[in-house]
Structure 1
Amino acid sequence: MKKYIYLFLGTFTFGLGTMGIVLPVLPTTVFYLLTGFFWCRSSPKLHAKLVSMPLYQKYATPFLEKRMTRAAKQRMFGMMGLVFLLSAVLVDHHLIRILLVIIYVSLVIGISWYLKKRPTAKPEK
């Protein structure tokens, strides 16, 4: 039963990640990483297909290998900021807005720390 739940969750997060390629408010990398987690536990064949996909290699592999370009890092933090700003504007509660700022700052610090000691990849031509 657990295998089928992981399979469903992996398929769901794969769909969200793929939609995130064209919709700027959905984080492609996060959903593809979750897909890898779920499919690794449910179907080795699907996991193998996922990690060999060009889209996975473009969005998730650089993050896992900590070799993102400076522009990719800036784009990632900018999109995260846009999503959090949009959420803060739509919510009419000051405590929630403060919480959103704390979460965003924590994410920026945590991800920056995670990527800090790796060299920045050279931009693709």
Structure 2
Amino acid sequence: MAARPHRSLMIRLLLLTVGWLSVGLGVLGIFLPVLPTTPFLLLAAACFMRSSQRFYLWLTHHRHLGPWIRDYLNGQGIPRRAKAYAIGLMWLSILLSAYLVPVPWVRVLLLISASLVSLYILRLPTLPR
């Protein structure tokens, strides 16, 4: 996919900021078990695609980070282990949040959103070994 920078300088700067924060969180997620890596890297790629072709190409062609993004963008999918990890950690954090939040409608909203995200992740193609 080719980068298509936004026309507004302010929007590009905002997207660059969010992109770099996402790269930082994605890299931290490699080392911290409670922080997912792939969603942050995908968010960074999306932000860079709309703000800077240079950074988008850097990220998608990065030796270590690039394959995670390219496999998803090319429609090849994500590894089975990454799916299980993402769904497991998401449900752990959602259930903990639902337990800690005493508002019933917020609990329902958390469970519905976790269910929908789980369905989305499960429907993504699984990368062959």
On whether the aligned pair clears a TM of 0.5, the verdict is yes
Q: Is the 8 A contact 2:60 2:67 kept in 1?
A: no
Q: Count residues in correspondence.
A: 119
Match of 1:61 in 2: 70
Q: Is the 8 A contact 1:28 1:59 kept in 2?
A: no
Match of 1:90 in 2: 100
Match of 1:20 in 2: 29
Hey, what's the Cα distance between the residues in 1 that align with 2:90 and 2:97?
Answer: 11
SS in 1 for 2:128: coil
Match of 2:45 in 1: 36
Compare the two structures and name the one with the higher helix fraction: 1
Q: Deviations over 1:87-123 (max 9, x none)?
A: 222222222112111111111112222x2xx46411x
Corresponding position: 1:6 with 2:26? no
Hey, what's the Cα distance between the residues in 2 that align with 1:9 and 1:70?
Answer: 28
5+ residue gaps, structure 1, are: none
TM-score calculated relative to the size of structure 2 = 0.77
* Structure 1 stretches of at least 4 aligned residues deviating more than 6 Å after TM superposition: none
CA RMSD of aligned residues (A): 2.0
Letter in 2 for 1:48: L
TM-score calculated relative to the size of structure 1 = 0.79
> Identity across aligned pairs (percent)?
34
5+ residue gaps, structure 2, are: 1-9
